[in-house]
Structure 1
Amino acid sequence: MVVVSLLMTLLATMYLAYVVNPAKHLHDFPIAVVNQDSGDVLGGQPVNIGSQISDSLTQTLPGNGIDLRVLGIDDARAQLDDGTLYGAIVIPADFTTSLAAFAAASVTPTQVTQPAVTVYTNPRTGSFAAGVVQSVAGTALAQANQRIGQQLTTTVNAQLQPTAGAPAPEVGGLTRLMLAAPITVAVTAYHPLPDGTGGGLTAFFYTMMVLLAGFTGAMVINAMVDASLGFAPTEFGPWYVHYPPTPISRLRTLLLKWGIIAGTAPIVSAIFMAVGYALGMPIDRPPALFLYSSVAILAVGVTALSIVSALGTAGLLINLVLFIVLGLPSSGGTIPIEALPKTVARLADFEPMHQVYLGIRAILYFDADGAAGLTRGVLMTLFGLVIGLVLGAAVTSYYDRKELHRTPATE
């Protein structure tokens, strides 16, 4: 009762902490502002409204947990391409010119288009991140829109002078309304995801499949091998079988289990891909996905088997906590790491699920780009595999040298 209660307390705390109020926990959330405005003359004075907006965003957004980066358009595109940025606010080159023409059109019969600022979201980093970008940019630009509207209204009113004793003409109600909010915000997805990606969730669920294949596969292999070697009983409904213990060392037993998970990993990886293809999931880099998924399943399975071999039954709980309870909320697959409580976000530095998610997301959505997370995913997965191999071999060898064999306890 105590063990189950403690485990469920941890599970509830981790899962609810990351989903209850993500917007409250924003920190270092990367958004770029790109000011391409070349400026113009407005009200007889040279101005650059784009610079005013950029400066205003730079002063206000960082205090709201946003990592605002002032970039050129090429750098912004490069960081959107590799998932480093969640979005970008782009002010066009003719922005001030468009505003000047917009103001002039309120007193002269000229054709004009409403000035626009483009907000790019990055759906390949997740739908929640795209929503945050849209919300943050919309709020900030609404404030900028109001200030610029006041500036334009003042400029237009100054141009309306009385003539030949007649009173100064007044700006019409509709014109005043348009001048009060002259900017339109165009929200568009940068490199939209194709159909069959679940709105950016297929990478997360594919990661879950890989982790579960390694974790649950290791537990099944551990139980069945121990039963076959006579170290644990096997029950089939009402029937009970317990073979005589096999005289085999702990290290050789672990090597046998490792061999089985190594043979199983590529088979399961191929099955996952076949199911994905059958369901219409786009897989542009099948060799990379197959190889990386196989290595990830192997790394998780080897480490899980090593933990159980070292700790026995308690290793089952450790594996559950390590790979599932702590892994899912810190994976970054549904809610970005930058929108998690910092205590949960720190787990992403070493939690296996986050590393595997970065690798699989890079393969599925970012053309297997190393900078998009594949390099880190591969290195951390191999690092985890090495840790699992060293831990298992060292502990079981130590038990064997101390003659701590797997035999029934004697009174």
Structure 2
Amino acid sequence: MTTSAEVESTQAARLRPRAWLAPIIVLTLFSALLGTMYLAYVVDPEKNLHDFPIALVNQDQGDVTGPPEAQQRVNFGDQVAAAMKQGIPTDKVDLRELGINEAELQMQSGKVYGTIIIPSDFSKRLGILGVGSVIPGDIQKPTITLQTNPRTGAFVTNIVQKVGNEALAQVDTQVGKQLTQQVQTQLAPPGGGPAPELTGATRLALADPVDIIVEPFRQLPSGTGEGLTAFFYALLLLLAGLIGSMTVHTMIDAALGVVPTEYGPWFVHYPRTHLSRFKTLLIKWGVMLVISVLVSGVFVLVGKALDMPITNSFTLYLYGVLAIAAVGITGLAILAAIGSAGLLVNMILFIVLGLPSSGGTVPIEATPRYLGWLAQFEPMHQVFLGVRAILYFDGNLQAGLARGVWMALLGMAVGLVLGVLVTRFYDRKGLHRGSSIVVDDSGASVDNRTAD
């Protein structure tokens, strides 16, 4: 007969250092990964800037300057474009020289984050400014337009403005120096000799000859959270699939009698239902599909109730069903393959690695390069691209919807194949859900029982 002292001794033995060291080590490593991933992508986006796509459109048609006997054709737009290509670091910014139509198409599909437009009358207006600076009359400064693309993300606009303003400020200074020299040359007496001194006001006007106009390409409507609703909606879809898989896994196992269900100080342990691992997983997948159909509709209705602009409700609903189902099916397959450890694996796969590499807050091109590598396959980034295309780009397939759909289908296929192969393998080997391994206080295996 076992005495109470022996029971207490056995329980104490199970609380040896190895019992509590394991969760401490696991959670410490998990926290280190979490801190690294979440802080690395927000600490210094400008330092991490690479391959940031900006379009450069030069429409300047040039102009003829100088006295009639010595006229020459100039194109200040070409000079500005050349100066920008030389001044903007190529390792940070992908400056694309495009025509206006191609630039607009790439802006509409989110392939470029901003556009610098040099107008067709740029040289003409600079010439007029040079003459008008020393002759009475009204003149207008030449302009360069910096278009932002707020639909690509909330933080993108700030980066575009900073990069564009810095580059254009340098160009403005260079053009000012060149224009000042040109005016002084034109004012020089025909027979030679020094040119008259320019007034202070004239020098100021010529030193800063270009007006930089910053404007959005397509302004976001109200109710979009300055471009954050796409990110948070994608996060909702991912969480629905992740939390759904964990909930379905636990509650179905409890209903089948695999694990007990606790209610405060009480717990219920139903009689064991002898189903194969494969059939159990099929049941969980079926429940997850029903959940995805219902929850996606709930999200669309909530968005509508909160006056979130959703012009493609049905498309958003269908994509939500696909995304939730893909995440849930894959999450359940991982849980079926490795058991309780799958909870942590799913958290790392879908959340810890997914949020920093999503591109929903800080663009991928302003994060460490390894996050760009993760974004190629991490589910969060693919879901964000799909949702953003539906909400902000009128469901444009080229804006990320096509990628979001195909990657979700690929992820679902991986989950289905993994789940089928693993559970069928376990069933063939006789590793049923009722199997257990009993260990003694030293940790050695002493018994292997099968309940099926």
TM range (shorter): over 0.9
**Pairing 1:309–2:332 present:** no
Partner of 2:323: 296
Maintained 8 Å contact 2:51/2:91: no
2: CA distance, partners of 1:36 / 1:275: 46
Partner of 2:234: 207
Of residues 430, 433, 446 in structure 2, which corresponds to 1:403?
A: 430
2: CA distance, partners of 1:5 / 1:104: 70
Residue identity in the other structure for 2:419 = G
1: CA distance, partners of 2:238 / 2:303: 16
**Pairing 1:264–2:269 present:** no
Of residues 12, 33, 43 in structure 2, which corresponds to 1:20?
A: 43
Residue identity in the other structure for 1:262 = L
Partner of 1:79: 106
**Pairing 1:157–2:184 present:** yes
Instruction: Give aligned pairs, total.
Output: 410
Cα deviation for residue 167 of structure 1 reads 9.3
What whole-Å deviation, never above 9, does each CA across 1:190-219 have from its counterpart, x for those lacking one?
011100000000000000000000000110
**1:357-396 equivalent positions in 2, closer than 5 A:** 357-396=384-423
SS at match of 1:53: helix
2: CA distance, partners of 1:199 / 1:3: 38
1: CA distance, partners of 2:165 / 2:89: 15
Cα deviation for residue 55 of structure 1 reads 1.1
SS at match of 1:248: coil
Cα deviation for residue 172 of structure 1 reads 2.4
Of residues 36, 39, 55 in structure 1, which corresponds to 2:62?
A: 39
Partner of 2:14: none
Partner of 1:9: 32
Partner of 1:128: 155
What is the RMSD computed on CA atoms of the aligned residues? 1.6
Partner of 1:346: 373
SS at match of 2:198: coil
Of residues 361, 364, 368 in structure 2, which corresponds to 1:337?
A: 364
Residue identity in the other structure for 2:391 = L
Of residues 229, 249, 258 in structure 1, which corresponds to 2:276?
A: 249
Maintained 8 Å contact 2:185/2:195: no
Normalised TM-score (structure 1): 0.97
2: CA distance, partners of 1:345 / 1:280: 33
Partner of 1:102: 129
Cα deviation for residue 30 of structure 1 reads 0.5
2: CA distance, partners of 1:376 / 1:63: 27
Partner of 1:321: 348
Of residues 206, 215, 218 in structure 1, which corresponds to 2:245?
A: 218
Residue identity in the other structure for 1:207 = A
Identity, % of aligned pairs?
54
SS at match of 2:123: helix
Of residues 214, 217, 233 in structure 2, which corresponds to 1:190?
A: 217
> Any unmatched runs of 5+ in structure 1?
none
Maintained 8 Å contact 2:184/2:195: no
2: CA distance, partners of 1:114 / 1:45: 22
SS at match of 1:127: coil
Maintained 8 Å contact 1:160/1:170: no
**1:229-248 equivalent positions in 2, closer than 5 A:** 229-248=256-275
Maintained 8 Å contact 1:30/1:66: yes
2: CA distance, partners of 1:69 / 1:84: 11
Residue identity in the other structure for 1:270 = G
1: CA distance, partners of 2:58 / 2:135: 29
More displaced stretch, 3-12 vs 170-179: 170-179
Cα deviation for residue 119 of structure 1 reads 0.5
Residue identity in the other structure for 1:142 = A
> Any unmatched runs of 5+ in structure 2?
1-23, 439-446, 448-452
Maintained 8 Å contact 2:133/2:205: no
SS at match of 1:31: strand
SS at match of 1:34: strand
Partner of 2:53: 30
1: CA distance, partners of 2:73 / 2:296: 62
Maintained 8 Å contact 1:232/1:242: yes
SS at match of 2:223: coil
SS at match of 1:329: coil
Maintained 8 Å contact 1:35/1:92: yes
What whole-Å deviation, never above 9, does each CA across 1:292-340 have from its counterpart, x for those lacking one?
0001000000000000000001111110000000000000100111111
Residue identity in the other structure for 1:171 = L
Residue identity in the other structure for 1:192 = Q
- Rg (Cα) greater in structure: 2
More displaced stretch, 238-247 vs 298-307: 238-247
Maintained 8 Å contact 1:62/1:68: no
